[in-house]
Structure 1
Amino acid sequence: MRLALLLAATFSLAASMAAASGFPVTVKSCNRDVTFEAAPKRAVSQDINLTEMMLALGLTGNMAGYSGISGWYKMDAALKERLGSLPELAPQRPTKEVLLAADADFLFAGWNYGLKVGGELTPDTLLPLGIKVYELTESCIHIMKKDKSSMDDMYNDILNIGRIFGVEEKAAALVDGYKREIAAATATVAGAGEAPKVFVYDSGEEKPFTAGRFAMPTALIEAAGGRNIMEDVETSWTEVGWEPVIERNPDIVLIVDYGAVSAAEKIDFMRRNPAFKDIPAVKNNRFVILPYAQATPGPRNIEAVKALATAFHPKSN
């Protein structure tokens, strides 16, 4: 009888502690509801932008490591210092074996940001291994219908990661601050005139890889008072032909800077190709460079909107 009472008291205390900490919590990850009984203790983030969301929330103490940065030439000295002793588990994409070796209990990734439809790493393949997954909102278009990309995609991820790790108030404060900064940046271009037509050039020479309707640059460009010429392409990041780029006559080319081919080399390719000589962006030398971490969903989107607003409407800034 005394043992039963002791056990009951223990369970009651555990339940009270869980309730006091805000757990369990359930968040929407793409088209799934994912429940967490407690904050993950051995989390892994995939790619620089997702890793920076974790850093912005001060979650390195809950992480086993990160993945997908150095192999894509995305590491800089400032980020390396912020990561400290946290290990990079894989330079590009982790495998099941890598995650198991790290004793991971959580993966923050996205479709085509480490996860692949029908591939080795999906929420369904990792759940039996005790690894829960939260999917980057921008990437959900690969498995479900969603609205056009917006700043709310990034805000949603920050808030959900905050809930998952029990730092909801910190996440809310971050998002509120981001919203104020964006409001201030967009106010400077309100009524600034016609929105410039912008082409996002990620990579590729034979065919360019670019941002469509559901990729983050569409939201960044619109917030800064511009218009993505590929906004009608019903996907996120994708390959297109050069013909529609030339036909749509962009005023500005936004270069995504990462990888083995530098931003300067991408610009030089467009300048010396006679097919592009009549494009206004090339004729007027209107190229804007964003690092990969600014062009994909994450804390650096705020810097991106400010930089784009200045480039698109210099007379308003």
Structure 2
Amino acid sequence: MKKTLPAAIALALTAGLAAAETTVQSCNRSVTFDAPPARAISNDVNLTEMMLVLGLADRMVGYTGISGWKTLEEDMRAGVEQLPELSAKYPSKEVLVGADADFFFAGWNYGMKVGGEVTPETLAPFGIQVYELTESCAHIMDRDKASIEDMYADLMNLGRIFDVEARAAELVDGYRADLSAFASGLDTGEPLRVFVYDSGEDTPFTAGLYAMPTALIEAAGGVNIMNDFDKSWGTVTWEEVVERNPEVVVIVNYGDVTAEQKRAFMMSNPAFADLEAVKNDRFVTLEYVEATPGPRNIQAIKTLARAFWGE
């Protein structure tokens, strides 16, 4: 005779199984996790720092995309000493599958390219689920301009995925309180016109409407002169920069060309001699990991605000 569970017990077990599932929004996808990932990989320094501040190093089998361009912040390095860098730049599908990963935290142009070999769709057959960096969603869908809320959303979603939601909420609440206290003591004026100089001499590569620096600049009391540039990051013309006459230039520091070399290029080029930022030598440097979505956005806002308005 077939035995059946009492209805109350069966209902409790069913509820328990349902509770174990977690669904989060990742760009234009809803992604459901039956259990927290145990063999995660993150791409890029800022995404890796998000994993580390949530205490998830023991859920990771490695990381990718750091040493080929950037370096992990020194005070975060200890968190990944035991983890291998599986690829110096963007990982191949074979790298991720070979590491027996079950989760990839990446973004569009942060480890994945539209139409590339590594996407949520190409990794799904291998049991690798993907959570996409919110800021990067602009590459594949319509969305609002960048916001510090994007970074908070990523931390909270990672908290849900890995069942450390209380830790994520504590971090986000702390970041909000920190910025609120800082802003209350800030004496600002009319928003300053700001240009983000990432790289390039013939044509500048800069942050547009959907890139995190736009949000950081606004939080610090400025306005990105390229906030009508309908992209995340991309190339514009120097003529546009000159026409919009920035009062401050934010230099993103990474790669082979140093921040000081970028500043020297602008200061010494006669074409920029009449820019307010050049005439007044108003340059401020953000490290790559500060200018891209991650925990160090909080310090970046403070750095910008102090440069805009003084101590």
The TM-score with structure 1 as length reference comes to 0.93
Instruction: Give the fraction of aligned pairs with identical amino acids, expressed as a percent.
Output: 59
Alignment of 1:1-317 (within 5 A): 18=17, 22-189=19-186, 192-314=188-310, 317=311
- Equivalent residue letter for 2:104: L
In 1: Cα distance, 2:174 partner to 2:195 partner: 29
In 2: Cα distance, 1:41 partner to 1:253 partner: 42
Preserved contact between residue 106 and residue 131 of structure 1 (Cα < 8 Å):
yes
Query: How far does residue 185 in structure 1 lie from its aligned partner after superposition?
Result: 2.3
Query: How far does residue 14 in structure 1 lie from its aligned partner after superposition?
Result: 7.0
List per-residue Cα deviations over 1:51-102 (Å, max 9, x = no partner). 0000010001111111111110323433322212111110111111100111
- Equivalent residue letter for 1:307: T
Query: How far does residue 12 in structure 1 lie from its aligned partner after superposition?
Result: 8.4
Listed as ranges, the gaps of 5+ residues in structure 2 are: none
Preserved contact between residue 202 and residue 257 of structure 1 (Cα < 8 Å):
yes
In 1: Cα distance, 2:77 partner to 2:16 partner: 36
Preserved contact between residue 106 and residue 131 of structure 2 (Cα < 8 Å):
yes
- Equivalent residue letter for 1:135: E
2:20 counterpart SS class: coil
In 2: Cα distance, 1:201 partner to 1:84 partner: 32
Preserved contact between residue 74 and residue 292 of structure 1 (Cα < 8 Å):
no
List per-residue Cα deviations over 1:174-195 (Å, max 9, x = no partner). 10001111112222335x2111
In 1: Cα distance, 2:267 partner to 2:118 partner: 40
Query: How far does residue 23 in structure 1 lie from its aligned partner after superposition?
Result: 1.9
Query: How far does residue 16 in structure 1 lie from its aligned partner after superposition?
Result: 6.5
Preserved contact between residue 52 and residue 76 of structure 2 (Cα < 8 Å):
no
1:104 counterpart SS class: coil
- Equivalent residue letter for 2:84: P
- Equivalent residue letter for 1:43: A
1:71 counterpart SS class: coil
- Equivalent residue letter for 1:249: N
- Equivalent residue letter for 1:229: I
List per-residue Cα deviations over 1:208-245 (Å, max 9, x = no partner). 11000110000000000011000111111111111100
2:101 counterpart SS class: coil
Change (3 A) 1:199 1:150: same
Preserved contact between residue 263 and residue 289 of structure 1 (Cα < 8 Å):
yes
Query: How far does residue 5 in structure 1 lie from its aligned partner after superposition?
Result: 6.4
List per-residue Cα deviations over 1:21-56 (Å, max 9, x = no partner). x52010000010000000001110010010000001
In 2: Cα distance, 1:5 partner to 1:87 partner: 49
Query: How far does residue 18 in structure 1 lie from its aligned partner after superposition?
Result: 4.6
Change (3 A) 1:277 1:120: same
Preserved contact between residue 39 and residue 100 of structure 2 (Cα < 8 Å):
yes
- Equivalent residue letter for 1:176: D
List per-residue Cα deviations over 1:77-133 (Å, max 9, x = no partner). 333222121111101111111001110001000011011111111111111111100
Tell me the C-alpha RMSD between the 2 structures: 2.0
List per-residue Cα deviations over 1:245-282 (Å, max 9, x = no partner). 01100010000011111111111111111111111111
Preserved contact between residue 45 and residue 70 of structure 2 (Cα < 8 Å):
no
Listed as ranges, the gaps of 5+ residues in structure 1 are: none
Q: Post-superposition, which runs of at least 4 consecutive aligned residues in structure 1 deviate over 3 A? A: 10-19
- Equivalent residue letter for 2:167: K
In 1: Cα distance, 2:276 partner to 2:228 partner: 21
